[in-house]
Amino acid sequence: MAHTKEHAYELIDRLPPTQLSAVVGLLEAMLDPVSLAIAQAPIDEEDLSVEGKKALGEAQEWSKHNRGIPHEQVLEELGLTKEEINDSRHPK
């Protein structure tokens, strides 16, 4: 366990600031009780609707031929910043 933590600290120290904030957000989400409960919730076995299956198929096909969209680009297109997202998680 101690070696794993030391390794994690070494990796964190090597991250550029933009990636560091993403890791912090991930760690906060992992430690948040609500996020943890959602992550551990059983998988919903409900069948997809015809529209849902079509949309899923289209998304999977798109992913085969296109690169993913970086989180920062999505936020920019929505007119949001990482700080606004973080602030919404931790209201003052």
Residue 52 domain-assigned? Answer: no
Residue 50, domain member (yes or no): no
Q: Is this structure's pTM higher than 0.85?
A: no
d(CA 89, CA 45): 29
The two tokens of residue 92 are: 């003052």
Residue 8 maps to a domain: yes
Domain membership of residue 68 (yes or no) is yes
pLDDT tens-place string over residues 11-40: 999 998 888 888 888 888 778 888 778 878
Q: What are φ and ψ of residue 49, in 5° steps?
A: -70, 170
Position 63 pLDDT exceeds 80? yes
- Domain containing 9 equals 2-41+59-89
Residue 27 lies in a domain: yes
Whether the per-residue pLDDT at 92 is higher than 70: the answer is: no
- Taking alpha carbons only, the member of 41, 38, 31, 37 closest to residue 90 is 31
Examine residue 53 and state whether it is found in any structural domain, yes or no: no
Domain count, the chain: 1
Percent of residues, the chain, with pLDDT higher than 90: 29
